[in-house]
Amino acid sequence: MSNDTVEVKVGLRNVLDEQKDIEFKKVRGKYLLWTVYSFARESDDEIYNLIVNNKIEIYVNGELTHPDDWAKIGLDEGDEIVVVPVLSGGGGGKRAGWISFIAGAIIVAVGIYMSLPPTSPLAPYVIMFGLGLMFTGASILLFQPDLPSLPSLGGDKDTQTYNWSGIRTTARADMRIPVVYGTHMVGGNIISGFVESDGEDSYLNMLIALCEGEINGICKYSDHTSVCVTSDTTNASYCAPAIYLDGQPLHNFSNVQWWYRTGTNEASPSRDEFYPFVQNKIPHFDGARVQYDDGREITTDGMSRPR
């Protein structure tokens, strides 16, 4: 196979209607894992969520593939890939699981027979081997393997790209900073956060590291091929961003302000705080701040004593 990508057909099988024809989509790729993930990204939200939130099986030209091989399987022009969601129980190696379980049970029976007089010294080992096969088969039937870790990522299964349990915002120290290629949804890691109160209102402020800079920008909600050039909602050039809170687009919420920076190393005093393409300070995060709970309760009568 050449070093260039090839065009293959990828489709999702409806496990609730096996008689329904699979609708294939042409996708370019080189390796199975990345190609299936590209298919998920290019599909509608329903198919995307179905693939990234569930365990799956992947067939290439009618042959079931093993999850450990997904990152290594190269593709040829015209290959047919079928993704099958596993909605419950076992999954990718269900047939292998049953074979292992049944074979183990047979071997255990043989071991028990060997333990009868005249007793064979190998009987205990045969029984243990059979039990091992049975436990292996049971584990395959009950637990579908997660998407495999990728060698190029150092064997880390916590990457937001290839952890198919879904993209989420984290708040952890020593997190790796992801590198984004092309257009990609990321959750980011909260590197600073605090709550400010103004009368009866409280405001949550979060500073989120999305990825390694420099980037082109955050995509527009209405057009993922172009980026937001300002976060000032009063500016005529303003467009709602492709930012989501709990699965809802940002523009569904009121009284929300947002800023972002593309990661350049240059500041520009002539640009306002809403301009993302220079490294000017982001409001509310231009100094050090430590927030802690001292145990006192604020009431209409004042502050209570520390507990």
pLDDT of residue 142: 60
pLDDT of residue 296: 64
Q: Are residues 124 and 214 in the same domain?
A: no
Token pair belonging to 305: 């004593």
pTM over 0.75: no
When divided into structural domains, the chain yields a total of 3
Task: Using alpha carbons, select from 211, 232, 224 the residue that is nearest to residue 276.
Answer: 232
Q: Are residues 173 and 272 in the same domain?
A: yes
Which of 86, 103, 123 finishes a domain? 86
Q: Are residues 107 and 62 in the same domain?
A: no
Task: Using alpha carbons, select from 33, 99, 116 the residue that is nearest to residue 71.
Answer: 33
pLDDT of residue 149: 39
Using DSSP, state whether 232 is helix, strand or coil: coil
Q: Are residues 198 and 291 in the same domain?
A: yes
CATH number at 28 reads 3.10.20.30
Token pair belonging to 292: 């802690």
Q: Are residues 79 and 112 in the same domain?
A: no
In a domain, 62, yes or no: yes
Q: Are residues 172 and 294 in the same domain?
A: yes
Strand bridging mode 6-12 / 24-29: antiparallel
Task: Using alpha carbons, select from 257, 255, 248, 251 the residue that is nearest to residue 285.
Answer: 257
- Domain housing 270: 167-307
Per-residue pLDDT of the chain (307 residues; tens, 9 = 90+): 345 789 999 998 876 666 678 889 999 988 888 888 888 878 766 666 666 665 678 899 999 988 878 888 999 999 999 988 775 444 445 666 678 788 888 988 888 888 888 878 888 888 888 888 787 777 666 654 444 433 333 344 445 454 545 677 877 767 778 888 889 888 888 888 888 878 888 888 889 999 998 999 999 999 999 999 999 999 999 999 999 987 789 998 888 999 999 999 889 999 999 999 999 999 988 776 665 556 666 666 665 555 4
Which of 86, 107, 134 finishes a domain? 86
Distance CA(209)–CA(226), nearest Å, equals 21
Q: Are residues 190 and 270 in the same domain?
A: yes
Please report which residue ranges of the chain form alpha helices under DSSP H: 32-42, 45-53, 94-114, 123-142
Q: Are residues 180 and 134 in the same domain?
A: no
Q: Are residues 40 and 75 in the same domain?
A: yes
Q: Are residues 112 and 248 in the same domain?
A: no
Q: Are residues 292 and 260 in the same domain?
A: yes
pLDDT of residue 166: 60
pLDDT of residue 76: 92
Count other Cβ atoms within 10 Å, centred on residue 205.
15
Q: Are residues 81 and 102 in the same domain?
A: no
Strands (DSSP E) contained in 184-223 are 189-198, 201-209
Strand bridging mode 302-303 / 63-64: unpaired
Q: Which amino acid is at 92?
A: G
Distance CA(145)–CA(68), nearest Å, equals 9
